[in-house]
Structure 1
Amino acid sequence: MADVAKLAGVSAQTVSRVSNGFPGVVESTRQQVLAAMKELGYRPNSAARALKRGEFRTLGVILFNLSTTGNMRTLEAVATSAAEEGYATTLLPVTVPTQDEVRGAFTRLGELAVDGIVIIMEVHLLDTATVTLPPNAQVVVVDSNAGDRYSVVDTDQAGGAEAAVRHLLDLGHATVWHVAGPEKSYAAERRVDSWRAALAAAGRPEPQVLRGDWSARSGYRAGLALAADPDCTAVFVANDQMALGVLRALHEAGRRVPEDVSVVGFDDIPEAASYLPPLTTVHQDFAEVGRRCVASVLRQIRNDEAERGTDLVATRLVVRSSTAPPPPATAR
């Protein structure tokens, strides 16, 4: 900085003001300083500036599952929204969701110096007595039941699942089968509960739930069981990847979609419109989830005050070619 000041013929304080973007520097002087910086290859020390200001302009992200499309799209949305606000993101994957792993992740983020933390937590963890987050941490949790203790941003899982079931019932199907996600998943739990509630409200029988692990392979296994049941004419699948497996199994079994069996997914991944047939699915607005996560954690940072409660992002049903009225013999 002293070398830049000497070359530009200004004080070190002026160089500091220019490098930090402070106002009040005459434009010609600012250009003079910038030219000197360029000539000398000077770059402001971001760590030093962070220590001086007391902020690092970095958000930490703790993610418990890197394999699911939903989590990765949420991570992308958070990183994009943070960048738009001038913040970098530091990712710490947690392979085993335990108290020790969570504590270790917070410790590592503390060492890396972040201003706030976004936790993308699909599994049941924060609702157990053994797991707590640091009391002074500025935290936003995605997809969780911890709304009374932390700021939570979530997709309206229940509303999306209800719309999917109602769509199939309105087409005339007697009931709707369900391929659910893992039992420990918050999202899967909400979608199962909403599926059950929608069937109960319509006075329809509740078929046995089939479980998958979000993968197309698990959807295929469930699809084989569904294909063997002649009474099955409508299926709500808890995500689009499992729905892809269901479509394959039905096709191999000679069950036509949608003429014999209608299929609805959840997520509206970019590939869903290119399935055969194009998949009717529930659209999740991952970009809006990311924006609200970043907005919440930045409010907490700037106000130095934690937020509580759950902020739900609306879903919408996207109707494509994988759903139709049931075969005449089975129509209600």
Structure 2
Amino acid sequence: MSKSKPTPRPALRSTADFARHVGLARTTISRVLNGQPGLKPKTIARVHAAMEATGFTPNAHALHLKGKNSATIGICMEDLLTPPAVRKLAALQRLLRAQNYASLIEVLDPGESRRVVRHFLSMRVDAIVFIGLFDEAEITARISELVVHGTPHLIIDHAGIAGANTVSLDRAAGMTAVVNHLLAFGHTRFGLLGLSSPARTAGERLNGIRAALAAHRLDFDSCTQSLDHLHVRAGDFEYGRALATTFASTPNRPTAFLALNDEIGVGALHGFQASRLRVPHDLSISGFNNQDICAMTTPGLTSVDQQIAPTVAAAAKLIFEQLNGPVRRRPVLRTIVPELVARGSTGPAPA
């Protein structure tokens, strides 16, 4: 017994095609699509049922030409290589989707921001968001253009850009919390792992360390040691392991180690353990970002949580305020305070 073939859907490439298929005037279809008042409920239901049955989707560009918002947000990413950046992107997309906004996403290579932003503007996006850390001169120029253009914008993470609406983590406060935690355990000598990085975020972390030590009348140069220059940072896990191996054989080594991120911290934890040093009995280690891997080591790695949910919630609130409220004359800065998550990798300084 032969099976009947499914009836193919009609090819509806325009509102006119769809109107002919439904048997209504094109103006009536347009009024339904644009949500205009004065239509009978059964007419609206008929159009929606036909859209569901045929899979017809109105041309978004045609709606833009009629003055409707695109309900689309352009998102510029520094990269998609770090888990925190990806988590921020995913969380922001969920909040935007809940308000019926779609996202267009581009990863910005150096020198590409002008092209990407202009492309977003040509697509008539309602706002543009930047997530990550960017070339300051380049991103400052893009923000200036968006302000002149009147396009709502927001930067997540990169603080200090003139005229920019920004939501940024207080990384200095996070590292200050770690150092205070270790000082309370009696540590006064700290090994720095990966903190010589030229990245802005590394400088912010160092500022936090300096502030914590200064508050306890301790000299930064006397209390810290870095061997970053002895190794090439090709991959963070192996870099942390290599630094730990070198520190393990160093006379009068520090008793606590502060890693730039969790990957370096986990690598260092394994490196010290491979050198037969006990954590936290012989030394303590902390990371930064509080990724899932921190709970998978033995002992668990103490870290600083970026508070991604509050960060993205504050970002979404600022975006919607710009979309739905009056034009702001002054940029808005929201600073997110991170949270110390203490685990078994930190403990009392050895006697």
Same structural fold, with TM-score higher than 0.5 when normalized by the shorter chain: yes
- Give deviations 1:165-224, integer Å, cap 9, x for gaps: 111111111233222446442222111111111112112343134556882232223223
Q: 2:345 aligns with which of 303, 319, 322?
A: 322
More off after superposition, 317-326 vs 210-219: 210-219
Residues 1:245 and 2:255 aligned together: no
Question: How far has the Cα of 1:27 moved from its partner?
Answer: 3.2
Question: How far has the Cα of 1:144 moved from its partner?
Answer: 1.9
Paired residue type of 1:68: T
Identity %: 28
Q: Is the 8 A contact 1:62 1:91 kept in 2?
A: yes
Q: Give the RMSD, CA atoms, in angstroms.
A: 2.8
Q: 1:118 aligns with which of 118, 129, 132?
A: 129
Q: 1:56 aligns with which of 43, 47, 70?
A: 70
For residues 147 and 128 of structure 1, the distance between their equivalents in structure 2, rounded to whole angstroms, comes to 8
Residues 1:102 and 2:113 aligned together: yes
For residues 130 and 58 of structure 1, the distance between their equivalents in structure 2, rounded to whole angstroms, comes to 22
Q: 1:257 aligns with which of 275, 279, 283?
A: 279
Question: How far has the Cα of 1:159 moved from its partner?
Answer: 1.5
Q: 1:206 aligns with which of 209, 223, 228?
A: 223
Paired residue type of 1:219: G
Q: 2:316 aligns with which of 269, 294, 307?
A: 294
For residues 131 and 184 of structure 1, the distance between their equivalents in structure 2, rounded to whole angstroms, comes to 23
Q: Is the 8 A contact 2:190 2:225 kept in 1?
A: no
TM-score w.r.t. the length of structure 1 is 0.86
For residues 46 and 22 of structure 1, the distance between their equivalents in structure 2, rounded to whole angstroms, comes to 17
Q: Secondary structure at the match of 2:112?
A: helix
Q: Is the 8 A contact 1:219 1:245 kept in 2?
A: yes
Distance change (3 Å), C-alpha of 1:210 and 1:111: farther
More off after superposition, 150-159 vs 1-10: 1-10
Distance change (3 Å), C-alpha of 1:106 and 1:38: closer
Q: 1:278 aligns with which of 281, 294, 300?
A: 300
Unpaired runs of 5+ in structure 2? 1-14
Residues 1:36 and 2:63 aligned together: no
Task: State the match for 1:216 in structure 2.
Answer: 237
Q: Is the 8 A contact 1:235 1:263 kept in 2?
A: yes
Paired residue type of 2:167: V
Q: Is the 8 A contact 1:119 1:142 kept in 2?
A: yes
Unpaired runs of 5+ in structure 1? none
Q: Is the 8 A contact 2:262 2:290 kept in 1?
A: yes
- Give deviations 1:112-157, integer Å, cap 9, x for gaps: 4322111123245249988764132422112223354211111121
Q: Is the 8 A contact 2:167 2:333 kept in 1?
A: yes
Residues 1:177 and 2:199 aligned together: no
Distance change (3 Å), C-alpha of 1:293 and 1:232: same
More off after superposition, 278-287 vs 103-112: 103-112
Alignment of 1:301-312 (within 5 A): 301-303=323-325, 305-306=327-328, 308-312=331-335
Question: How far has the Cα of 1:21 moved from its partner?
Answer: 4.2
Q: Is the 8 A contact 2:300 2:345 kept in 1?
A: yes
Q: Is the 8 A contact 1:182 1:214 kept in 2?
A: no
More off after superposition, 160-169 vs 46-55: 46-55
Task: State the match for 1:77 in structure 2.
Answer: 91
For residues 40 and 258 of structure 1, the distance between their equivalents in structure 2, rounded to whole angstroms, comes to 64
